[in-house]
Amino acid sequence: MAAKKVDGFGLDVNDKRVLIDHEAGDKVPSVRRQCILIGLNRSTLYMQPQMGESEENLKLMQRIDEIYTAHPFYGSRKIAAVLVREGQRVNRKRVYRLMALMGLQSIAPKPNTSKKHPKHKVYPYLLRGVKIERVNQVWSTDITYIRVGRGYAYLVAIIDWFSRNVLSWRLSNTMDTAFCIDALEEALNKYGRPEIFNSDQGSQFTSEAFTGMLKKHDIPISMDGRGRALDNIFVERLWRSVKYEEVYIKQYQTMQDAKLGLSAYFRFYNHERPHQSLNNRTPMEIYKAHAAPKKAA
């Protein structure tokens, strides 16, 4: 079936792959036009992925990410053992360093994922025993590693726990605070404010800039306990879907590829992909059905 035409171009904005129809006579849309169609800021496309690791280490990081995504309860010791069984010449110290670089942690004590800043305040976990029964009751965020060409990047997303709706996301070539704040600002502007905002204890989320924005909007702050990755299980499940259904299949070569691909995937995830836990409805269907009018942030 030919791709649906949009303004004379062969771009199907409903397809998660952002396919272009290459039939004779079709005009290929420019990057600017593709960005307009999928609502992506063109200026963000030209960032370069993080470099600095050898090709051997980048391949090893990719394999570590695959093992971790399949078995998030594996720590550096067990992942190193798996790699050795596969014939890799690697020790635990090297795996530990690369996991820390990638921001990966095991469900059991997690020293690696998001490094805690010694001077940042850590907030208590507010969700123990809390029943999640409405949209905007709890928002959550996390950062994951994405392989891009001969380098790597970091992806942050903010998700509504009740509907699983991805409210915003950003891709960055450094694991800093700025791209996390950008994602938070977008979510607040589009969807109002949550009753509780949950994150891990990573320095990006404990920074005064990030927590200050939450305090400015009177949003209670909740943070996972040490060694309790499952406190943020909904975002962990999102990363599993993103990687198996998009990232590992596409093998992005540039940041432009990654941002266009992820933009299309998250649109597909929110609007088209049925979730068994939602009685085969989509996250956006659930969110819109239950959301009250937005309270301006």
Are both 179 and 247 inside the same structural domain? yes
* Same domain assignment for residues 89 and 174: no
Cβ pair 213, 155 in contact under 8 A: no
The boundaries of the domain holding residue 22 are 1-39
260 with 168, same domain?
yes
Token code pair at residue 117: 């800043």
pLDDT digits (tens, 9 = 90+) for 114-148: 455 556 688 999 998 899 999 999 999 999 999 99
Residues 80 and 220 reside in one and the same domain: no
Whether residue 232 sits in one domain with residue 181:
yes
Same-domain check for residues 33 and 90: no
Instruction: Specify if 109 maps to a domain.
Output: no
Cα–Cα separations (whole angstroms), residue 146 to 103, 220, 269, 270: 10, 30, 18, 20
Q: What are phi and psi of 69, to 5 degrees?
A: -60, -40
Mean pLDDT of 40-50: 58
Other Cβ atoms closer than 10 A to 139: 28
Quote the number of domains for the chain: 3
Whether residue 127 lies inside any domain: the answer is: no
Mean pLDDT, the chain, rounded, equals: 82
The CATH number of whichever domain residue 162 belongs to comes to 3.30.420.10
180 and 239: one domain? Answer: yes
Same-domain pairing of 4 and 86: no
What pLDDT shows up at residue 231?
62
User: pLDDT digit string (tens) for 185-236?
Assistant: 999 999 999 999 999 888 899 999 999 999 999 999 999 865 445 567 888 8
Say yes or no: 145 and 243 in one domain. yes
Q: Can you read off the two tokens belonging to residue 55?
A: 């090709």
Residue 46 lies in a domain: no
Q: What is the pTM of this model?
A: 0.72
Looking at residue 42, what DSSP letter applies? G
pLDDT tens by residue, 16-38: 444 333 334 455 566 556 655 55
Q: Please indicate, yes or no, whether residues 142 and 73 belong to a single structural domain of this protein.
A: no
- Classify residue 295: in a domain, yes or no: no
285 and 177 within one domain: yes
